Structure 1
Amino acid sequence: MSSAPPKGWARWLYSGALYTLSPLIWRRVWREQVPTHPRLERLGHVPESNDPTLWLHAASVGEVIAARPLIEALRRRYPAHQLVVTTMTATGAERVEALFKGEVTHHFVPLDFPGAARRFVHTLAPELAIFFETELWPNLLEACHRRGVPVAVVNGRLSARAMRGYRRLGALMANALAKVDWLAAKSSEDAERFRELGMPGERLDVVGSLKFDIDADDRMSGESEHLRASFGPRPVWTAASTHPGEDEQVLMAHRRVRERYPDALLILVPRHPQRFDDVAELCRERGETLARRSRSEPVQDKTTVYLGDTMGELMRLYGTTDVAFVGGSLVPVGGHNLLEPAILGVPVLSGPELANFSDVAEVLRSADALVDVADAEALGEAVSALLAAPDERRRRGEAAKAAVMAQRGALARTLAGLAKLLPGDAETPLPDGVNH
């Protein structure tokens, strides 16, 4: 006669595996540090606070940017609460600081060891825990559950590729999702995948993607105009959030563009700051005349590549450009945020690797606002064609912005759902069009 496995066995096995791999895990996160944060945060050691606290976890830079509208809305709606934002990566920490200038508290999320998770949740004592997208850490969820902290997963997404991996951890994921009080999926496809993993349907809603609630920063528009004027009357295109193996393709495309437009300027923005120097050297090896933004080097007539090697300025750089290619899409990364150039009315180009942004890509394609390119040659041809057709550039840019605006509303629906999990009423009204 067989007996059922003990309750929580999958999480116990998972925790055992984490302890076994802890030397490798610790070595990996050792590099992900900023001087203002002690490494003991990784073990759940954070300062206590006397203020009521809301906690939002976003993995890295892309998630922090996507969560920005929600973070700003939570600050306005719950001004008496301390808002704590955690990230896994140092670049995510730096982005929190750059965007919010100390107006929210940042900590590194603890490694998902049982003790560290319990210590963090006990010390922080949040009234609500909000996990962004697919940040499902079993021991953190368990710690919240044991302390009675309601848990929400917002902008929930689960790609088909990720689903295949999570399916192998079926018991672990079902156990984790059982601790989630509300999951706000960004699409019906994402909702169905979460349901297949074990998320109870009565605690699952489709609210749309928070990414579409992005706003153009009017304060940056003047700075963008000033920077563009400094480039002189020349064609400008941007390749942003690029990865190894992609920078080379972008530079090949730029060479093709310059065959038709010899004075064309490429603004190249690598995804990760640790690669800035390597990409600068690559540009020189390829015969490009380089100016680096981090060094305040001016763009001169002979400059062919302007390296955006600073943090927090991507939207400012997008505001200077005629055409924008969004990277992570010519290499198997899954793409990056197509909405940032779109909301500025800039024509958007992308490669085929868009697993992480397939929903956004489909919206832009449906509006005839996304140009798909397969490789470096196609990218060069597409950029050249758009530079040659100002009316087509304008049409595609306007279509991209209109498509983004038409999809807005997920933020209001998310705030309404979160309000149901918090004790008492909100301290300020919900946005227009949202009722309790």
Structure 2
Amino acid sequence: MAVSPLLSAYLFWSNRAHRFGERKLQARLAEGKEDAARLDERRGIASLERPPGQVIWLHAASVGESVSVLEMLRRMGEERPDVTFLITSGTVTSGEVLASRLPDGALHQYVPLDVRPWMRRFLDHWDPDLIVLAEGEIWPALLHEAKLRGKPVAMINARMTDATYRRWRRFGRGAARKLLGYIDHVQAQEEQTAQRLRHLGLPETRLEVTGTLKEGSKALPHDEAERVRFASALGGRPCWLAASTHEGEEAGAAEAHAQARRSWQKLALVIAPRHPGRGDEIVSSLRLDGWKVAQRSLGETLTAETDIYVADTVGEMGLWYRLCAVSFMGGSLVPVGGHNPFEPAALGSAILHGPEVYNFQDIFERLSAAGAARQVSDWADLGATLARVLEPDEAARMAHAAWEVCSDGTDVTERATDLLFAMLDGVD
């Protein structure tokens, strides 16, 4: 099978990359980014037996991608209980979230690094009947080995950022065209991604624009007893959420909180950091600034005196979105690119965000056009806008508009399900 010179060079390197892979794993382990008990999975050594029958392998890199495919997996499992769904991810947080939320008939493993011997070992063990990549990761060794084995490959919920597109252009359009040729069908989230894939050489006959699975996903789960307990603790106080915040955004949210409290004196703020491991440093910094703070991971309770509640736990976003009438989407006033706004939209929370939402640009534009979301320019603007949006009629109007936009996309999951079953049934 002929390959481009650049792709050949990558595959040659990947075939001998054990030492690089080991160094990377050990560095990530030291940083707390790997599960020590399951590190062999990252080397392609399975910790579970392959069940009999057909196996669909679906790779979803991190938490957002993993959660977005759960509703699709649930529906597919109900329709085809004879099929096993193997879902892989590459982050500890995603593994923790999936551990409690996988539907029946689904298994989780950490994905091996794109080192050819490790990828071969993984594919030899699991022998998947269909390989599905969620969002936009294009792994040369994985795709090449899948092609050698004659495995069909689909990419669903595909999204290619400008940075990724430029990286693949530098890698070489010949190499990109060859790799994309190994993918049998792509369902893109939006036209911009589709256009970038066309430019890189994906044939039009293998491409369709369907929207995002996150739009048609089931609402995030929650513990109703905890919601009732927190609502009682709030005692009618208004509450807003700074969701999936990054470094620097917690201090900014506190600044906006102070401004909004001039109009809403009893206002409470819940901060849910994108990386819960930062909880201790966030709490320490806020307390140094004079805020009365309670911390979720330490079991501290929210009281009438609590100014800010730091929700530094995994898998509870459904609880905070239900409690808070207004949600600010983190990663949008720092150059991160924003996070999934359909999660609060599906749960009746009005949405505020900064200008840095390029990862979900089209979705935020739709929400803004519907009156469901508002963009702010800085932390002072967030505080002023928050004070206005907290008015019950305004928050309710925005929340309803968000829910309507969210509910329009329920057919996205059905289209992905139909594609994958058609590809599976085409396997000899």
Q: Distance in 1 between the 2:167 and 2:222 partners?
A: 42
Q: What is the aligned residue count?
A: 419
Counterpart in 2 of 1:81?
A: 83
Superposed CA offset, 1:339-371 (max 9, x none): 111111211001111111112101101101111
Superposed CA offset, 1:238-269 (max 9, x none): 00100011111111111112232222100000
Which of the numbers 93, 96, 114 marks the counterpart of 1:94? 96
Counterpart in 2 of 1:25?
A: 24
Q: Distance in 2 between the 1:323 and 1:35 partners?
A: 38
Which of the numbers 319, 322, 325 marks the counterpart of 2:325? 322
Deviation at 1:145, TM superposition (A): 1.2
Q: Distance in 2 between the 1:207 and 1:393 partners?
A: 30
Closer/same/farther in 2, CA of residues 402 and 127 from structure 1, 3 Å limit: same
Alignment of 1:299-318 (within 5 A): 299-318=302-321
Counterpart in 2 of 1:196?
A: 199
Which of the numbers 237, 241, 250 marks the counterpart of 1:238? 241
Deviates more, 1:156-165 or 1:8-17: 8-17
Closer/same/farther in 2, CA of residues 36 and 98 from structure 1, 3 Å limit: farther
Q: Distance in 1 between the 2:34 and 2:105 partners?
A: 20
Q: Distance in 2 between the 1:356 and 1:277 partners?
A: 28
SS state of the match for residue 406, structure 2?
A: helix
Counterpart in 1 of 2:45?
A: 45
Counterpart in 2 of 1:254?
A: 257
Counterpart in 2 of 1:341?
A: 344
Deviates more, 1:183-192 or 1:132-141: 183-192
Q: RMSD of aligned C-alpha atoms?
A: 2.1
Q: Which runs of 4+ in 1 moved over 6 A?
A: none
Q: Distance in 2 between the 1:70 and 1:9 partners?
A: 38
Q: Distance in 1 between the 2:196 and 2:220 partners?
A: 35
Q: Letter of the aligned partner of 1:110 in structure 2? A: P
Which of the numbers 3, 8, 17 marks the counterpart of 1:7? 3
Counterpart in 1 of 2:152?
A: 150
In the alignment, does 2:368 pair up with 1:365? yes
Closer/same/farther in 2, CA of residues 17 and 77 from structure 1, 3 Å limit: same
Deviation at 1:17, TM superposition (A): 5.1
Deviates more, 1:226-235 or 1:211-220: 211-220
Q: Distance in 1 between the 2:206 and 2:250 partners?
A: 43
Q: Distance in 2 between the 1:50 and 1:59 partners?
A: 23
Counterpart in 1 of 2:413?
A: 411
**Does the 8 Å contact 1:138/1:172 carry over to 2?**
no
Closer/same/farther in 2, CA of residues 365 and 295 from structure 1, 3 Å limit: same
SS state of the match for residue 425, structure 2?
A: coil
Q: Distance in 2 between the 1:215 and 1:222 partners?
A: 20
**Does the 8 Å contact 1:221/1:319 carry over to 2?**
no
Which of the numbers 287, 290, 300 marks the counterpart of 2:290? 287
Q: Letter of the aligned partner of 1:26 in structure 2? A: L
Alignment of 1:126-275 (within 5 A): 126-169=128-171, 170-216=173-219, 220=223, 223-275=226-278
Deviation at 1:217, TM superposition (A): 5.3
**Does the 8 Å contact 1:208/1:409 carry over to 2?**
no
Deviation at 1:411, TM superposition (A): 0.7
Closer/same/farther in 2, CA of residues 200 and 13 from structure 1, 3 Å limit: same
Closer/same/farther in 2, CA of residues 316 and 57 from structure 1, 3 Å limit: same
Deviation at 1:172, TM superposition (A): 2.8
Structure-1-length-normalised TM-score: 0.91
Alignment of 1:361-400 (within 5 A): 361-387=364-390, 389-400=391-402
Q: Distance in 2 between the 1:279 and 1:421 partners?
A: 47
Q: Distance in 2 between the 1:29 and 1:295 partners?
A: 25
**Does the 8 Å contact 1:122/1:147 carry over to 2?**
no
Superposed CA offset, 1:136-191 (max 9, x none): 11111111111121100000111233322221123332221111011111122211
Deviation at 1:103, TM superposition (A): 5.3
Deviation at 1:334, TM superposition (A): 0.7
Which of the numbers 57, 60, 80 marks the counterpart of 1:58? 60
Closer/same/farther in 2, CA of residues 48 and 144 from structure 1, 3 Å limit: farther
**Does the 8 Å contact 2:88/2:109 carry over to 1?**
yes
SS state of the match for residue 319, structure 1?
A: helix
SS state of the match for residue 356, structure 2?
A: coil
**Does the 8 Å contact 2:129/2:151 carry over to 1?**
yes
Q: Distance in 1 between the 2:169 and 2:75 partners?
A: 34
SS state of the match for residue 259, structure 1?
A: coil
Q: Letter of the aligned partner of 1:32 in structure 2? A: K
Deviation at 1:133, TM superposition (A): 0.5
Q: Letter of the aligned partner of 1:403 in structure 2? A: V
Superposed CA offset, 1:383-426 (max 9, x none): 11112x2111111110111111123311111111112211369x
SS state of the match for residue 374, structure 1?
A: coil
Closer/same/farther in 2, CA of residues 99 and 409 from structure 1, 3 Å limit: same
**Does the 8 Å contact 2:221/2:319 carry over to 1?**
no
Unaligned runs of 5+ in 1: 1-5, 426-436
Closer/same/farther in 2, CA of residues 275 and 385 from structure 1, 3 Å limit: same
Q: Distance in 2 between the 1:204 and 1:401 partners?
A: 29
Q: Distance in 2 between the 1:128 and 1:413 partners?
A: 17
**Does the 8 Å contact 1:99/1:312 carry over to 2?**
no
SS state of the match for residue 302, structure 2?
A: coil
Q: Distance in 2 between the 1:224 and 1:114 partners?
A: 47
Deviation at 1:303, TM superposition (A): 0.5
Unaligned runs of 5+ in 2: none
